[in-house]
A and B are shown apart, each in its own frame.
Chain A
């Protein structure tokens, strides 16, 4: 009997090792949280073929949209933790809990790679009566409620940036006009439907270069290599140092419980893929900062991001539930 158990166990162990040694032995599914043509989609579809090469397997990507990405997240969280279903997402899930959009976030996942980070920028219609951040703030003080800011709903990049401005400046009396994405909002900006839009640099850079929109300030602590002449926000107000650098990011995740060697293999593949010159070039063109971090470093990045952002939104009274309820500690505590 004892021998049988040992035999069975060793057989199990053998097959387990064999399965892992062969990983990937079938197609891997990559679930993209956002629609085709968006930033997340572009990033994932351009890095994955290089990662496939390093991995020696195929990753079939599909877009699963809806409920601000929560449908895709729940789908992957509910699938087997065997490394054959990847979640390709952006920063939003870290705010699901406090925004009341879902009860799961990246804490249910192991990061394979945090690929890149974007820099927010405040852009304005070229005809607006202010040319930089300071002039904008002065104009808003004189004309409360008149300036129209684009927004993409609670938890979106514009809501975080306006919360930041509001907490640093002690209030921001503008009209927030909601759009369903930064693309449509920037279109509205160029048509004069809104005056100011906090957007990720990559989405606005071509419009800026063509003079269809002007930069009021880059939301960063140093000048940006893509726009070296544009002012950055800490030039106007030192207090922004508390929150910056901050930005949206893109990452690949697997559900918790995925075997360590599979995680290691996938992480290595995406690390190699992210260094491919074509991908590096693409990230640079779109104004994203390449990160390609994994393991503890990625975990630390995620929890720092979540703490800072969740509490910022909480203090601006934009959340549905306090971060405290979910054990998200206030930064510095």
Chain B
């Protein structure tokens, strides 16, 4: 009963309600601007809310977090520039929709799906947090490595057209991710004795350049062409549309919760994996993936918002951050005199239920702010290109600078922008590059961790995989997904099914 009262705290105090709302609203805009990240916003808020009580401070942070994860989809759909890494997959099908004049519909679907994903995440957090965190802790370095390999196999889904070009792009991404001082041994890799390369290449700078600047350069080709008029008659998706996508959204939300709950992986990987999953299970999309398939929006947007609830699971039950934002929130709780850790749920259960309440509230606000103001947003894409292109450049430069307050990042961003332009020009997909950069560290660190733990003995390493059910499941999935993408399998499948069909 007291748990229920704590849960209701946020609903009964107008001040807290207002702060969650304000946070969500601000979060949507922070998230929509590439480079301005939720992580940054929340860390600034720590100093800002220092003298406040803990409840108002947490309310504001949760609002920003929820809103920001959702806001990243806005620019992804409208401008093909993901506002945050977790919206990369959203751009793949969202932008084609906007180009067709369906930006309103795309944003509407995105909003509703984000909320469904958000609620699944919160539901799991509220009802099964200890179970999920126990499961997440079971992931050993070798399991993270297998997960990263599974992620790299997504290259197949992300490269439209040529798989070879996709593999090239993915490999490039992995190489970019390896530049700089190796975080495990501090050895320099690919730095060529330049101090500037020691810190590595900021992956946000790569993302902004590849998507933002290359888009601006590409648009220069038809600077005089009129912008597509956007139809905004139907924003809220019909109930039948939501119903149709409900099974998929529940599956991709579960992917989101699990990936979100794993320490070290977050909404970005969750969204990409969900996109891949959607592509695999959707037999007959109304439009092909990459061309504006609704499923291509449903999957990443449910998954990245479900990952928010997921990230709170290890934070609340163990004091272990599920992602970068929850890491900062743990710091905030310390500063406000709480001791986040395994004892928090026992010593101060009110905090847990209060956070669940805030998340629910933020989700509701997301619906309100998400569905209003769409008209204003879609105007952005209707602007003349001569205004839009400089605007994209400006946003990209500010965004790249803001990540680390470093001008070097701006140069990287511009360089990768020009490079990305040529890649697109010659039909090389950009998605796999970003995928490679994201997964590079995960794969590299965990492979070495795993093999060092086994005293650098491959025999022991495989014995480890086969003795753990979790590793075995991941290992088998890697093999199956890999084999299913080879031409050999397609042939074999055709033969088996053609033989079996007459019998059935």
Interface residues of A, Cβ cutoff 8 Å to B: 35-38, 41-42, 45-46, 48-49, 61-68, 70-71, 74, 99, 101, 145, 148, 153-155, 175-180, 183-184, 186-188, 190-194, 205-207, 209-210, 212, 278, 281-282, 285-286
**Distance between B127 CB and nearest chain A CB, rounded to angstroms:** 21
**Distance between B30 CB and nearest chain A CB, rounded to angstroms:** 15
A188 to B141, CA, bound (A): 8
Interface string of B12-56 (1 = CB under 8 A from A): 000000000000000000000000000100110011001100000
**Chain A contacts for B168, CB-based, 8 A:** none
B404 at the interface (CB under 8 A from A): yes
B343 near A206 (CB under 8 angstroms)? yes
B463 at the interface (CB under 8 A from A): no
Interface string of B189-202 (1 = CB under 8 A from A): 00000010011100
Partner of A67, one of B46, B198, B263, B335: B198
Q: Chain B residue with minimal CB distance to A190? A: B137
B181 at the interface (CB under 8 A from A): yes
B43 near A148 (CB under 8 angstroms)? no
Chain A to chain B contacts (Cβ below 8 Å), 5 pairs: A45-B47, A45-B335, A67-B199, A71-B199, A179-B184
B47 near A210 (CB under 8 angstroms)? no
Interface string of B288-314 (1 = CB under 8 A from A): 000000000000000000000000001
**Chain A contacts for B314, CB-based, 8 A:** 187
Interface residues of B, Cβ cutoff 8 Å to A: 39, 42-43, 46-47, 50-51, 137-141, 180-181, 183-186, 195, 198-200, 263-264, 314, 318-321, 324, 327-331, 334-335, 337, 339-344, 346, 404-406, 445, 448-449, 452-453, 455
A48 to B51, CA, bound (A): 12
Given contacts A37-B321, A212-B318, contact A68 B452 (CB under 8 A): no
**Chain B contacts for A209, CB-based, 8 A:** 341-343
B449 near A178 (CB under 8 angstroms)? yes
A36 near B46 (CB under 8 angstroms)? yes
**Distance between A131 CB and nearest chain B CB, rounded to angstroms:** 20
**Chain B contacts for A178, CB-based, 8 A:** 184-185, 448-449, 452
B342 near A210 (CB under 8 angstroms)? yes
**Distance between B352 CB and nearest chain A CB, rounded to angstroms:** 15
**Distance between A203 CB and nearest chain B CB, rounded to angstroms:** 10
B453 near A177 (CB under 8 angstroms)? yes
A61 near B184 (CB under 8 angstroms)? no
A281 to B334, CA, bound (A): 10
A42 near B337 (CB under 8 angstroms)? no
**Chain A contacts for B337, CB-based, 8 A:** 278, 281-282, 285
Partner of A36, one of B43, B180, B199, B340: B43
